Amino acid sequence: MTLGAGVLQRVPDAASKDERVAHQDASQRAPLVEAAIMRVLDAERAARVAAEAAHGQAAERVQQARARAIAIAKRTERRIRAIQAAFEQRVEAESRAVDAELAALVDAEVEDAQTRLLDVDAAEKVAAELTGGEHG
């Protein structure tokens, strides 16, 4: 307050003016702040929804990858069994061929041995005939 011309005159106090402006600004800002808070909350909800969607997509991708891995494992196992069976068949065929060849060789040796025995028997007979029955 200041005195001027003998009359008490009221001068607006700077603090009270600031308070009024602040109060007026606060009342005007309240809807803006509330709107900003709502936008933040909406953004947070959207982020949660996006995170849940991403989690769901990741889980689906994991399931798809797991299914592909199982399919690959089954296909690989079938291939391994087919190769193993083919190998076993080939080994069996080779073994039969070797056995047949061995049997043929044994038969040839036996036949040759029998022929030699017959030759020895024949020679003994000839020798016995020539010597008058002393051999045999």
Whole-Å CA distances, 113 to 100, 105, 117, 118, 125: 19, 12, 6, 8, 18
Asked if 9 and 3 count as a contact pair (C-beta separation under 8 A), the reply is: yes
DSSP class of residue 115?
H
pLDDT value of position 3: 47
Q: Which two tokens stand for residue 98?
A: 């070797």
Low-confidence ranges of the chain (pLDDT < 50): 1-9, 11, 136
Residue type present at position 126: V
pLDDT value of position 7: 45
pTM: 0.46
Residue type present at position 46: A
For the chain, first and last CA: distance in Å? 168
pLDDT value of position 134: 60
pLDDT value of position 38: 95
Handedness of CA 11, 15, 20, 21 (dihedral sign): positive
Helix (H, G, I), strand (E, B) or coil at 61: helix
Asked if 128 and 134 count as a contact pair (C-beta separation under 8 A), the reply is: yes
